[in-house]
Amino acid sequence: MSNSFCNQHSGNQIIQVNIKKECQGRERLMCQECIQNSRGILHVMSVLEASEMVEDLKSQQQQQIYNLVNVVKEMLAKLKEKTDCLQSKVYEQFTSLKQKYDLFQEELDQLVEQYNSQDLSKELQFLDESPDSILQEQFLSDSNKIQQINRSYLQKINKVSQTLQSTIKDWSVQSEFDEMFNQISTQINNYKKQNDFWMQVSEINQQQSCWAIAFNYSDSIMAAGCGENIKIWDFQDKKLIDSGILLEGHSDFVQCLTFSKRCNWLVSGGLDQKIICWNQVNVNTWQKNQVLQSGIGDIQYLILTPAEDQIISTQNSKIKIWNLNIEQNTISFKQSLEMHRSTVKFICVNEDSTFLISNALDNKIILWSKQSPNDWSYQCTIDRIQKDCGNRVCFISNTTFTYQSDNQGILYIYKINNGGLIEAPELKVILQSERVQDGTKLFPSIFNNKKNILIQKHENFVYILKCDQGNTLRMYGDPINIHSRFNYGTITNDGNYLVIWSLETKSFKIYQIN
């Protein structure tokens, strides 16, 4: 590849490879002049890096097909040995069988041979795809081809073997092929299990609607807003166990729950305009510590800052900041951020607690920054597409966040740069239900730093997206189809389990993320 020359600028040597999806084949190859003429952000890699990726993937493909074919070849060797023992009795018939085996083997070798040649233009188009997904697709495709070849030769060989039934009563090709089918089928099933990104591991009935769910710092306790109460569950061995504990204090639906990451302390918000703090006294007892009458309007959203020194809540068009000291059990009102003109739907703070993002029904995204240890101030505003107020925001790094459209399944990516917000269109993610409105504002986007995965709900589906070092989000397996847009959930702190309550089933389903 390093000796290739540019198609657009004759004689210029290729130095980089464009990895954007829009480019195909030799269009990806770029010389110095191509790079100088390009505008915007380039997504490129060096020729050496691209060559190494292609060669590494090719090596893995070859090894994978060799392993698949060897299973069949081993079975063929056994068949040949039996055939040779009987050849002296029915020479003509067994000679015919051997010819079939040879043709069988030739077709298998031809299947292997296709991976020994390399078409640069063809191979380059896969550079932007995950090697795991390429290998998975190849495995399933090649194993199916091998099974088709097996069936074809089974028919041919059976025709010959039928003439031998009278003299070779103990000869059974079918049993040998059955064993071969079973071995390959077992490999396919094992491979699928190894490459399942998620699987449902348990389910438990919960008839009353749950609008908010949260796990404690050790992932041993789950709290769920069940109507106007908070139900406490134990989480053990991939299962939820009803503890029988019910926290009573709200007079209307609980729709916000947040646990401390350090102790069994919980804060809740509801449609009754109250913020209530709870702490665990002992295994069976929880205590209501503080009840804040935050003003007029439902508590729409409620979060803790990563340092757990502030509670940030939304109520109508206002964002309220509360200073917090969990150890001393004190909460005091700090300030109110009032730049939105309509109900604030979602807020999110970055890991360093330096930036706060909010979006509201006024179709605006506002960036707030912390100018002193506890004071937040307005930074800038983005007016989004008309008639689309958005339906979730979430930081995936300290300076990058996602914004989900409400009217369609599109995840926009924004970067904070020099105090402003810049959209990164090349990082935009199109979800499976692209043209469908979400319809609900609960179930926030959740980014798990331990696994670098984003949990994103849209309409009937819950997506798991993997984030790389360049903040590119890729689908992590197929989305989970909940069969109802009214579903609410959360992920454990270790990123291993996802819990979703659905109106369709009126139950909690627990999914393991592999």
Can you tell me the distance from the alpha carbon of 310 to that of 242, in angstroms, rounded to the nearest whole number?
31
Q: How many CA atoms lie within 13 A of 153 on its CB side?
A: 27
Phi, psi of 187 (to 5 degrees): -60, -45
Residue 13 per-residue DSSP state? B
H-only helix segments in 165-238: 173-194
* Burial tier of 239 (Cβ tally within 10 Å: 0-12, 13-18, 19+): middle
**What whole-number distance in Å separates Cα of residue 35 and Cα of residue 18?**
10
Q: How far is CA 175 from the centre of its chain?
A: 42
Q: What strands, in cross-sheet order, belong to the sheet with 487-491? A: 198-205, 507-513, 497-502, 487-491
> Strand 198-205 to strand 210-215: parallel, antiparallel, or no bridges (unpaired)?
unpaired
Phi, psi values for residue 236, rounded to 5° = -140, 140
Burial of 383 (0-12, 13-18, 19+ CB in 10 A): exposed
Which residues have a Cβ under 8 Å from the Cβ of 315 and sit 6 or more positions away? 273, 294, 295, 296, 297, 298, 299, 300, 344
Per-residue confidence (pLDDT) for residue 134, from 0 to 100? 78
- Quote the CA–CA distance of 384 and 364 in Å, as a whole number: 6
Element (H, E) at 86: helix 47-86
Cβ atoms within 10 Å, residue 58: 15
CA 508/CA 501 separation, integer angstroms:
4
Question: What's residue 5's pLDDT?
Answer: 77
Ranges in the chain, pLDDT < 70: 1-3, 20-22, 39-44, 86-87, 118-127, 166-173, 188-196, 384-389, 433-435, 439
Cα(first)–Cα(last) distance of the chain, in Å? Answer: 36
pLDDT at site 147: 87
pLDDT at 225: 96
Which pLDDT belongs to residue 61? 85
**103-111: which pairs have CB atoms within 8 A and are 24 or more residues apart?**
103/153, 104/76, 104/149, 104/153, 105/73, 105/76, 107/149, 108/69, 108/72, 108/73, 108/146, 108/149, 109/69, 111/65, 111/69, 111/142, 111/145, 111/146, 111/149
Amino acid at 30: M
Q: What is the pLDDT of residue 194?
A: 57
Q: What is the pLDDT of residue 145?
A: 84
Task: Indicate left, alpha or beta for 219 from its phi (over 0: left) and psi (-120 to 50: alpha).
Answer: left
Beta bridge mates, 280: 286
- Report whether 74 contacts 67 (CB < 8 A): no
Q: By the 8 A CB rule, do 462 and 453 touch?
A: no
